[in-house]
C-alpha cells in the first residue's frame, strides 16, 4: 500500500514538473514557444552577412527567438515601420536614430547592436581603359545615393577628403530611388556610380565597369548599420533584446573566424538569384576591408566620425552624445557571457 501511494505521489510530482517545464521554461528539451521578434532590414544585402548567419546557423533560435525578417527598402520606410510598431527591431543606418532624436521624440530610437562598421559602397567607373585617379571625377556625371542617407553622406565625405567637391566639381544625380540606381547605371546613366555589393561584382562580371575605390576604406570606421528599437520596446523586453544581442555576437564571431567561401555558403539561401562566386567575391571584399563588426559595441570614436560625416553633409542640427541614443549594455553582457 505504501508503494502504491508513493507511486501515485511520484507520478503526480513528475506530471507537475513536466507541466512546469512546458509552461514556465518553454520546453525543457522540447521545442516550446519562442519569443517572436520582427526585424525590418533597410535592404537585402551581402553587407549584412552576420544577420543571415545568425538566422541560418540557428543562433537566434538557440536563444529562444523566432525571428521574422522583412525588407523595408530605404531608411525612411524602415524607420516609419519601427515607429508605427510594424516591426520590433530595425536594421538601418544609425543616422536615422539621430534624425528621430533631433525631432524631439518622446520615445527615442536606441542603437543597441552594431552590425557593420564601415560604409558598404564602392565607386565604379564605366571607363575601364585608363588608370583611376580621383581627379577624373571632376566634370563627370556621378550617379549617387539618396540625399541624407548614409551612403551618400559617407560618399561625399570621402570625395571631400580626396579634394573633390561633390556639389561643385561634378554633376551629382540624387533623384533616383535606391532600388533603381543599379538599373539606371546599367541603362547608361552616369560615368561613375556608387554601388553596394553584390551589384558591384555583378557589373564587373558583365563588363559594365570596374570598382576603382572603396568608400568604406576612404570614409573610415563608423556605426554604419545597427540594430535599434524604440526605448519603450527595450524597457519592456530587456530579456528579449539581450538574447537577440547575444545571438548577434555569436554570429559576428562566426563570420570573423570563417572564410568568405564558408560565409557565402551560409547566406546563399538569402541570395538565391545570385551566383555563388559573386557572393564569395562580395563577402571577400567586405571581410578584407573590415566592414563586418566583430562585436555589437558602438564605440565613441566611431560615433564621433558619424557625426562628422553628417555635419559635413549639412544634416546635423547638433552633436548628439552617444549616451542619448546608444545602449551598449546588451553588447557588453553578450561579450561577457561567451
- Looking only at the bridges linking them, the beta strands covering 35-41 and 89-92 are parallel
CA gap 283, 80 in Å, rounded: 30
| pLDDT for residue 148 | 83
Of residues 76 and 337, more confidence is placed in: 76
143-152 pLDDT tens trace: 998 888 888 9
25-47 pLDDT tens trace: 333 333 458 999 999 999 899 99
Write the secondary structure of 18-64 as one string of H (helix), E (strand) and C (coil).
Answer: HHHHHHCCCCCCCCCCCEEEEEEECCCCHHHHHHHHHHHCCHHHHCC
Query: Which pTM does this prediction carry?
Result: 0.85
Using the predicted structure, report yes or no on whether residue 141 has a pLDDT greater than 90: yes
Angle, nearest 10°, between helix axes 49-56 and 260-267?
60
The share of the chain scoring above pLDDT 70, in percent, equals 90
Of residues 234 and 31, more confidence is placed in: 234
- Which DSSP letter does residue 69 get? E
The share of the chain scoring above pLDDT 90, in percent, equals 82
| pLDDT for residue 337 | 77
Q: 338 pLDDT band (50/70/90 cuts)?
A: low
Asked whether 131 and 125 are in contact (CB, 8 A), the reply is no
| pLDDT for residue 32 | 57
Q: Extract the runs of DSSP E, i.e. beta strands, from 48-120.
A: 65-71, 89-92, 109-116
Asked whether 316 and 310 are in contact (CB, 8 A), the reply is yes
251-271 pLDDT tens trace: 999 999 999 999 999 999 999
Using the predicted structure, report yes or no on whether residue 230 has a pLDDT greater than 70: yes
Using the predicted structure, report yes or no on whether residue 237 has a pLDDT greater than 90: yes
What would the mean pLDDT of 292-308 be, rounded to a whole number?
Answer: 97
| pLDDT for residue 146 | 83
Helix (H, G, I), strand (E, B) or coil at 280: helix
CA gap 175, 194 in Å, rounded: 14
CA gap 7, 15 in Å, rounded: 12
| pLDDT for residue 220 | 93
Using the predicted structure, report yes or no on whether residue 1 has a pLDDT greater than 50: no
| pLDDT for residue 258 | 98
| pLDDT for residue 323 | 96
154-209 pLDDT tens trace: 999 999 999 999 999 999 998 888 888 999 999 999 999 999 999 999 999 999 99
Calculate the average pLDDT of the chain. Answer: 90
CA gap 295, 245 in Å, rounded: 10
Using the predicted structure, report yes or no on whether residue 24 has a pLDDT greater than 70: no
Using the predicted structure, report yes or no on whether residue 233 has a pLDDT greater than 90: yes
Looking at the DSSP assignment, which residues form a beta bridge with residue 326? 111
Q: How far lies 164's CA from each of 132, 289, 334, in Å?
A: 14, 23, 42
Whose CA is closest to 145, among 91, 219, 71? 219
Amino acid at each position: 500500500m505504501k508503494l502504491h501511494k508513493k507511486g501515485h505521489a511520484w507520478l503526480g510530482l513528475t506530471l507537475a514538473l513536466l507541466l512546469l517545464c512546458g509552461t514556465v521554461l518553454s520546453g525543457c528539451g522540447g521545442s516550446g514557444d519562442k519569443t517572436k521578434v520582427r526585424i525590418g532590414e533597410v535592404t537585402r544585402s551581402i553587407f549584412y552577412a552576420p544577420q543571415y548567419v545568425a538566422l541560418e546557423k540557428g543562433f537566434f533560435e538557440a536563444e529562444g527567438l523566432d525571428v521574422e525578417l522583412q525588407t523595408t527598402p530605404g531608411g525612411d520606410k524602415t524607420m516609419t515601420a519601427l515607429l508605427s510598431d510594424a516591426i520590433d527591431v530595425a536594421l538601418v543606418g544609425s543616422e536615422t536614430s539621430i534624425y528621430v532624436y533631433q525631432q524631439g521624440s518622446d520615445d527615442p530610437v536606441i542603437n543597441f547592436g552594431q552590425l557593420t562598421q564601415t560604409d558598404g559602397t564602392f565607386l565604379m567607373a564605366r571607363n575601364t581603359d585608363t588608370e583611376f585617379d580621383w581627379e577624373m571625377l571632376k566634370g563627370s556625371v556621378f550617379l549617387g545615393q539618396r540625399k541624407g542617407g548614409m551612403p551618400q553622406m559617407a560618399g561625399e565625405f570621402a570625395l571631400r577628403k580626396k579634394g573633390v567637391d561633390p556639389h561643385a566639381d561634378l554633376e551629382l544625380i540624387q533623384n533616383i530611388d535606391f532600388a533603381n540606381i543599379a538599373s539606371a547605371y546599367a541603362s547608361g546613366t552616369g560615368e561613375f556610380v556608387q554601388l553596394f555589393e553584390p551589384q558591384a561584382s555583378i557589373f564587373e562580371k558583365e563588363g559594365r565597369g570596374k570598382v576603382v575605390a572603396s568608400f568604406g576604406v576612404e570614409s573610415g570606421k563608423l556605426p554604419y548599420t545597427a540594430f535599434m528599437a524604440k526605448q519603450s520596446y527595450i524597457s519592456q523586453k530587456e530579456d528579449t533584446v539581450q538574447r537577440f544581442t547575444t545571438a548577434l555576437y555569436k554570429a559576428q564571431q562566426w563570420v570573423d573566424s570563417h572564410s568568405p567561401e564558408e560565409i557565402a555558403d551560409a547566406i546563399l539561401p538569402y541570395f538565391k538569384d545570385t551566383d555563388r562566386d559573386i557572393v564569395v567575391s562580395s563577402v571577400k571584399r567586405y571581410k578584407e576591408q573590415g566592414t563586418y563588426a566583430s562585436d555589437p559595441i558602438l564605440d565613441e570614436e566611431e560615433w564621433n566620425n558619424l557625426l562628422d560625416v553628417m555635419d559635413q553633409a549639412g544634416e546635423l542640427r547638433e552633436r548628439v552624445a552617444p549616451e542619448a541614443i546608444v545602449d551598449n549594455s546588451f553588447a557588453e553582457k553578450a561579450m561577457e557571457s561567451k
